[in-house]
Amino acid sequence: MSQCCSQNRPARKLECPINKHEYVQVAVKTLLHHLKEPWNYSLKDHGYYFCNATDCDVAYFSADGLIINKSELRTPLAAKEECEERMICYCFGISLADAKANPAIKNFVIQQTKLGNCACETSNPSGRCCLKDFPS
């Protein structure tokens, strides 16, 4: 497996200040690749969390009170959408509709992941591997 999908790091969680649900920590590298203007933020190298709730405008938040709304991102957040055209694999541009129409696509992504050809930590706004998002 590629490094991005095989890391066994403990998941740190923090409550979203808006919807009060707990979410998993993401790397600052992830934010830098999705913010419209990353140079306008004083991001530290720790403590950011990804909110994937469809009914919440927050995309990322931090323990020190920073809130980044989805409108501040250059990447659409598929996790906050419920349509069939939402992206489920940012590394290879695969929508849920694509994966449903052609189940072999999942095997392609699995193979590319094993070869280390994915970049989930920076491509996916959640910073996580997309394989769990594919239909069974």
pLDDT in tens, 8-43: 455 689 999 999 999 999 999 999 999 999 999 999
pLDDT at 7 over 90: no
CATH number at residue 38: 2.20.25.270
pLDDT at 121 over 80: yes
Q: Are residues 9 and 69 in the same domain?
A: yes
The pLDDT of 101-114, averaged and rounded, is 96
CB atoms within 10 A of CB 75: 16
> What pLDDT is recorded for position 9?
52
Cα(104)–Cα(102) distance, integer angstroms: 5
> What pLDDT is recorded for position 11?
63
Q: Are residues 102 and 117 in the same domain?
A: yes
Q: Which of these three, 75, 92, 123, is where a domain ends?
A: 75
Q: Which of these three, 29, 47, 75, is where a domain ends?
A: 75
CATH number at residue 121: 1.10.10
- How many independent structural domains does the chain possess? 2
Q: Are residues 63 and 17 in the same domain?
A: yes
Record the pTM.
Answer: 0.86
Residue pLDDT, tens place only, 34-90 = 999 999 999 987 789 999 999 999 999 999 899 999 999 998 899 899 899 999 999
Cα(98)–Cα(135) distance, integer angstroms: 10
Q: Provide the pLDDT confidence category of residue 1 given band limits of 50, 70 and 90.
A: very low
> What pLDDT is recorded for position 82?
86
> What pLDDT is recorded for position 10?
52
Cα(99)–Cα(104) distance, integer angstroms: 8
Q: How far is CA 127 from CA 102, 104, 130, in A?
A: 25, 24, 9
For residue 53, give its domain range. Answer: 3-75
